[in-house]
Amino acid sequence: MEAYKTFALVYDLFMNEVPYTKWVEYIEKIWEKFNCSPKLMAELGCGTGNLTTLFAKKGIDMIGIDISADMLSIAREKAIANNVDILYLLQDMQEFELYGTVDCIISLCDSLNYILDEEGLLNTFKWVNSYLNPKGLFIFDINTEYKYKYILGDNIFAENYEEASYIWDNFYDEEEAINEYCLTFFIKEEDTGLYKKYEELHYEKMYSTDTITKLIENAGLELLAIYDAYTFELPKEDSERIFFVAREKGKS
């Protein structure tokens, strides 16, 4: 079952409570703190383009990268509807290619947790380092072990709308540090009014802050800060999401 194929159709419906504007404001505060004023920026794992669109509307030239053609199709429609020009690239973030360097690269909404091994994550960090302008920032978030064990765990979530419903079944394997999401959708078909069932499997990997720190340094980046999400405080034992800020420290 291909992840983010069916989910792309209803992603924005079920993610309607995600505070995208709050995320943008937080990223802007990080820029201010570290003296970054990006004119050209790339987002890894951009999905349906909610964040790329918001940043583009602020006058930043945006590049969105995602592995799902279905998600990018919706993102392109969103760009047209908002009258913004965004370059969307269908690529795997573990081996992405840009046409030149950028001032900042972001990856939010736990996109990097979808990389399931350290080698793949290191490759991503190395490509980030290659495509950042001198002193450019790399800002990303990850889900924590606390979230996988105590919030998601072996829990089941469900939500129901007129257009669609879903059942979200979780299983966290502590030994492998892998969270499995089994998503079952019931999507209303326009022509018949009947609901069709779809299923997708998603996997996310938990990485410790020590592992992330090591990989950032091995990629040649400089780690600037680790924050509890949406704050400038150190992560806590019950932090569910952590933000990392790294910087290109000078290419040899």
Tens digits of per-residue pLDDT, 18-50? Answer: 788 999 999 999 999 999 999 999 999 999 999
Give pLDDT, residue 1.
41
Q: Which residue has the tokens 């690269």?
A: 105
* Position with higher pLDDT, 1 vs 87: 87
Give pLDDT, residue 10.
67
CA distance 140 to 153: 23
Confidence of residue 13 (pLDDT cuts 50, 70, 90): low
pTM above 0.85, yes or no: yes
Q: Residues 151, 158: contact at Cβ < 8 Å? A: no
Q: What is the mean pLDDT of the chain?
A: 92
Q: E strands along the chain, which residues? A: 40-44, 61-66, 86-90, 102-107, 132-143, 156-160, 164-173, 178-188, 195-205, 221-228, 241-248
Q: Residues 87, 65: contact at Cβ < 8 Å? A: no
Cα–Cα–Cα angle for 249, 204, 67, nearest 5°?
70
Give pLDDT, residue 124.
98
**Amino acid type, 143:** N
Render pLDDT for 145-165 as a digit per residue (tens, 0 to 9).
999 999 998 889 888 888 888
Give pLDDT, residue 251.
60
Confidence of residue 221 (pLDDT cuts 50, 70, 90): very high
Nearest to 32 by CA among 128, 104, 130: 104
Q: Residues 110, 229: contact at Cβ < 8 Å? A: no
DSSP category for residue 235: P
pLDDT at 189 over 90: no
CA distance 192 to 186: 14
CA distance 34 to 43: 19
Domains of the chain: 7-143+206-248 (3.40.50.150), 147-205 (2.20.25.110)
pLDDT at 98 over 60: yes
